[in-house]
Amino acid sequence: MARERRYIGKRIKRKEDPRLITGKGLYVDDIHLPGMVYAAFLRPPYAHARIKSIDTSKAEKIPGVIGVFTGEYFKDKVAPLTTAWALTNADLKPVKWPVVAYDKVRFTGDIVAVVVAEDPYTAYDALEAIEVEYEPLPVVVDVEEAVKPGAPQLHDEAPGNIAFKWTFRGGRDFDEVAKEADIIVKKRFINQRLIPSAMETRAAVASYNPATGELTVWVTSQNPHVHRLIMASVLGIPEHKLRVIAPDVGGGFGSKIPVYPGEVIVARLAMDLGRPVKWVETRRENFLGTIHGRDHVDYVEVAAKKNGEVLGVRVRTLANLGAYISTAAPGVPTILFGLMLSGPYKIKSVDVEVKGVLTNTTPVDAYRGAGRPEATYILERMMDIVARRLGMDPADVRRVNLIEKAPYTAVTGLTYDSGRYLEVFEKALKIAEYYKWREVQSEERRKGRLIGIGISSYIEMCGLAPSRIARATGFGLGLWESVLVRVHPTGKVSVYTGSHPHGQGEETSFAQIVAEELGIPIEDVEIVHGDTAQTPFGMGTYGSRTTPVGGAAVYRAVAKIKEKARKIAAALLEAREEDIEFSEGKFYVKGHPEKSVTFQDVALAAYTADKLPPDVEPGLEAIAFYDPENFTFPYGTHIAVVEVDPETFKVKILRYVAVDDAGVIINPLLAEGQVHGGVVQGIAQALYEYAVYDENGNLLTAGFNDYMIPTALDVPNIESYFEETPAPHNPLGAKGIGETGTIAATPAVVNAVLDALAHLGIEHIDMPLTPYRIWKALKEAGLLEKLKAGGE
């Protein structure tokens, strides 16, 4: 491998950008079909209520209204939605989500009626003319209230509002290791509810051809094939008659994985009305009806020795699932959370128990990081608190605990296949000038400035996932990925992938892999994705899987192309196949570089087919289904330096350094972009964002005025560095970079803020660390005076 790489590892500008920077992208809302009509959804003013009657007559009379449809209409035509992750050994309850409510509403994002009209303005007018009589029912939004006896019950199928109970024990018994510990630290952490807030809201357009029975649905999806499979099932139509197209998708972060009522409703109505139907979610609906993330109450116990060694972790979690169990929801606070609770550390005991709890709130599902940020937050907060209680530097506590060598079988049973945890940790400290900042901190503290330094060392399981493991946990499908590589007669290449990037840039990075391996210009490669009629069945884009799993499939398919091309080249060069070498896009006879044919010559010969060896079929295409042997385990250390204003309590990030090892980086430009965006979402959880419900189940933060996603003024520059330890089992050596930032950043920033307040005696404040919460914590601890006096 002495050959210089031309594409892999290079900062290549994106192939998708020319259309997106000129306004020529195609998002679902940009689709306009002849005869198209518009749907709008009525959502209830109550979070929990019985529907007594619905009067649609006034709405139906409004000129331009085509029809108004209630739950009764859909009840027998469309099956209710259920989760696709049927968690095993957890007593998962079969909760059903009717696409339009007919007896009860269980959260304010439920749908009680659908208007279809000639234009969207009229559809929204008509919503206001629908009269619904409700019988309000008692509401529960808080998980700790929801599990109490006598709490309002959401579903008959789930007594006590418990949707599942999942336990996991790894390594030694916690109580045993606790006996060897010098300190036991107990904490209750709230990992607050977040709202993914992709800039494009969800949308769907459906069109039906009664003559062929073909239904086409354009939908904002991260996984069009999964959408097709589930939608075909709930609509009761044959899978091959349903075509799902996810065109350009304006961000997802997990929120466009699930199948929701909206797309199912427009699909059914397009069939019934004989006209294409479009629905575009309003931003308010996006807040109410599209999944939320996180939302745990975690009771944590950590057993540690005097030298900082953490022996064991015991966690009891109540995970808020919202009103229904969304597509992937059961796996998030369990598999993706519990198995990460030993982190990059040599912890000897992990003991987790998670209850999935139903409440009158928006369903919670995978939001960027999905379970892994929650686990990392617990561990990294605890590392700092242990350090504090033992009077140690937080860096030293991590040095004691970090795994020295990979491969390493963690106490959870996961085998971390590759990594230099300590080395990367030290590198981050060095780049961020950790010890210099410690000096600055103590000097400035004397002047009354509150500076804090926060460390976060993380590991994540991603590259989801080996199918046998996915299936063993109850996931509805395997988690392999597919790629079809089609070489055209002119040597140009189309690649059809089951992945579905929606901002990550794999139209470019996959093309880099193909161009590198075939020795052809990147301009000759086109990546096609998002259309079930064009691409082989695939699992989509989430869980940092697109490069390590989808990209590996690209590599494997291209290898098959090369194998066949070599046979054809041998025939063309009248040489033995084993004497044929391939380099820089040319096949040549070993030792005779003058005797060569180009990849393009071979492609043409594959189609003219008159000079093929007898055992070789015409054409040049190959399909690969890549099922990973193991998860991949990106890891790294992030360091945040913050300043808390002692008068306004506003937090400013002075420096943010990310050092990530995501294995081989295909395109550093794009990988850095993933880190930047991920880190900012992590910072947002630490400092700004939280979904707030009132006691009646009204979402008080139901728009960008009240739910604070950061603007450019609220976040710092992010310094991103990579270490590359190839994943040994992955053909590309890639591990995935989509979620590292979000996982690492939240505790880095929270640790930094609490480090700034440490000398005052504040140990913990729950997120987000808004000025109000910091002020309140200081006030309640009677520390405001101490702060004024300089904190000494």
Partner 1 sequence: MEGEGLEVVEVSMKVNGKPVKAKVPARMLLVHFLRDVLGLTGTHVGCDTSNCGACTVIMNGKAVKSCTVFAFMADGAEILTIEGLAQNGKLHPIQEAFWENHGLQCGFCTPGMIMTLYDFLNRNPEPTEEEVRRAIEGNLCRCTGYVNIVRSALAAAEKMRAVGRWVKGGA
Chain residues 113-172 in contact with partner 1, contact rule CB under 8 A: 121, 125
* Phi, psi dihedrals of residue 113, rounded to the nearest 5°: -160, 155
Residue 228 or 278: which CB sits closer to partner 1? 278
Tokens coding 736: 């995935």
Give CA–CA dist 546/539, Å, rounded: 9
Q: Are 115 and 266 in contact (CB under 8 A)?
A: no
Cis peptide leading into residue 465 (ω within 30°)? yes
Chain residues 196-225 in contact with partner 1, contact rule CB under 8 A: 197-201
Which DSSP category does 491 fall into? S
Q: Are 605 and 612 in contact (CB under 8 A)?
A: yes
Residue of 615, 711, 785, 792 interacting with partner 1 (CB under 8 A): 711
* Phi, psi dihedrals of residue 187, rounded to the nearest 5°: -145, 150
Tokens coding 380: 């990294």
Residue 211 or 712: which CB sits closer to partner 1? 712
Q: Which stretch binds partner 1 (CB under 8 A): 157-165, 185-193, 393-401, 502-510?
A: 502-510
Smallest separation, CB 420 to partner 1 (Å): 26
Distance of CA 277 to the CA centre of its chain: 29
Residue 161 or 674: which CB sits closer to partner 1? 674
Smallest separation, CB 503 to partner 1 (Å): 3
Q: Which stretch binds partner 1 (CB under 8 A): 266-274, 475-483, 536-544, 714-722?
A: 714-722
Alpha helices in 252-392 (DSSP H): 261-273, 283-289, 335-338, 372-390
Residue of 535, 681, 685, 746 interacting with partner 1 (CB under 8 A): 681
Residue 625 or 721: which CB sits closer to partner 1? 721
Q: Which stretch binds partner 1 (CB under 8 A): 297-305, 518-526, 689-697, 712-720?
A: 712-720
Which DSSP category does 546 fall into? I
Q: Are 764 and 385 in contact (CB under 8 A)?
A: yes
Residue 466 or 741: which CB sits closer to partner 1? 741
Smallest separation, CB 515 to partner 1 (Å): 19
Residue of 44, 293, 491, 505 interacting with partner 1 (CB under 8 A): 505
Beta-carbon contacts of 489 under 8 Å, excluding residues fewer than 6 positions away, are: 603, 604, 606, 607, 608
Residue of 436, 447, 578, 705 interacting with partner 1 (CB under 8 A): 705
Chain residues 7-46 in contact with partner 1, contact rule CB under 8 A: 13-14, 16-18, 20-27, 29-30, 32
- Report which secondary-structure segment, H or E, holds 421: helix 421-431
Smallest separation, CB 202 to partner 1 (Å): 12
Smallest separation, CB 281 to partner 1 (Å): 10
Smallest separation, CB 702 to partner 1 (Å): 10
Residue 128 or 443: which CB sits closer to partner 1? 128
Q: Which stretch binds partner 1 (CB under 8 A): 395-403, 500-508, 513-521, 590-598?
A: 500-508
Smallest separation, CB 249 to partner 1 (Å): 7
Residue 351 or 672: which CB sits closer to partner 1? 672
Smallest separation, CB 254 to partner 1 (Å): 12
Chain residues 573-632 in contact with partner 1, contact rule CB under 8 A: none
Q: 409-439: b or e for each residue (b if 16 or more CB lie within 10 Å)?
A: ebbbebebbbbbbbebbbbbbebbbbeebee
Q: Are 416 and 406 in contact (CB under 8 A)?
A: yes
Q: How many of the other CB atoms lie within 10 Å of CB of 62?
A: 16
Smallest separation, CB 671 to partner 1 (Å): 10
User: What does the DSSP assignment read for 693-725?
Assistant: B-TTS-BS--STTTS----GGGS---EEEEE--
Q: Is 1 exposed, middle or buried (0-12, 13-18, 19+ CB in 10 A)?
A: exposed
Q: Are 126 and 115 in contact (CB under 8 A)?
A: yes
Q: Does 712 bind partner 1 (CB under 8 A)?
A: yes
Give CA–CA dist 224/25, Å, rounded: 18
Smallest separation, CB 287 to partner 1 (Å): 10
Window 736-765: contact mask with partner 1 (x via CB under 8 A): -----x------------------------
Residue of 715, 727, 748, 787 interacting with partner 1 (CB under 8 A): 715
Smallest separation, CB 375 to partner 1 (Å): 23
Smallest separation, CB 526 to partner 1 (Å): 18
Residue 319 or 750: which CB sits closer to partner 1? 750
Give CA–CA dist 40/376, Å, rounded: 40
Residue 403 or 653: which CB sits closer to partner 1? 653
Residue 670 or 756: which CB sits closer to partner 1? 670
Give CA–CA dist 238/232, Å, rounded: 6
Smallest separation, CB 579 to partner 1 (Å): 43
Tokens coding 640: 């945040």
Residue 234 or 370: which CB sits closer to partner 1? 370
Smallest separation, CB 205 to partner 1 (Å): 13
Q: Which stretch binds partner 1 (CB under 8 A): 276-284, 317-325, 388-396, 454-462?
A: 276-284
Chain residues 245-274 in contact with partner 1, contact rule CB under 8 A: 248-251, 253
Chain residues 278-337 in contact with partner 1, contact rule CB under 8 A: 280, 282-284
Residue 35 or 593: which CB sits closer to partner 1? 35
Smallest separation, CB 122 to partner 1 (Å): 9
Smallest separation, CB 113 to partner 1 (Å): 20
Give CA–CA dist 665/647, Å, rounded: 44
The strand order across the sheet containing 104-105 reads 104-105, 49-55, 131-136
Alpha carbons within 13 A on the beta-carbon side of 32? 4
Residue 17 or 694: which CB sits closer to partner 1? 17
Q: Give CA torsion, residues 748, 751, 757, 759, to 10 deg.
A: -120
Chain residues 640-679 in contact with partner 1, contact rule CB under 8 A: 669-670, 672-673, 676-679
Smallest separation, CB 422 to partner 1 (Å): 28
Residue 466 or 503: which CB sits closer to partner 1? 503
Please list the residues that pair with 245 across neighbouring strands: 218, 531
Closest CA to 292 of 771, 707, 675: 707
Smallest separation, CB 657 to partner 1 (Å): 13
Instruction: Count interface residues toward partner 1 (CB under 8 A).
Output: 57
Window 459-498: contact mask with partner 1 (x via CB under 8 A): ----------------------------------------
Q: Which stretch binds partner 1 (CB under 8 A): 192-200, 296-304, 399-407, 584-592?
A: 192-200
Q: Are 349 and 177 in contact (CB under 8 A)?
A: yes
Give CA–CA dist 445/578, Å, rounded: 71
Closest CA to 110 of 74, 144, 77: 74
Give CA–CA dist 702/291, Å, rounded: 13
Residue of 127, 709, 760, 781 interacting with partner 1 (CB under 8 A): 709
3-state secondary structure 35-82: CCEEEEEECCCCCCEEEEEEECHHHHHCCCEEEEEEHHHHHCCCCCEC
Site residues (vs partner 1, CB under 8 A): 13-14, 16-18, 20-27, 29-30, 32, 121, 125, 197-201, 248-251, 253, 280, 282-284, 502-505, 669-670, 672-673, 676-681, 703-705, 709, 711-713, 715, 717-718, 741
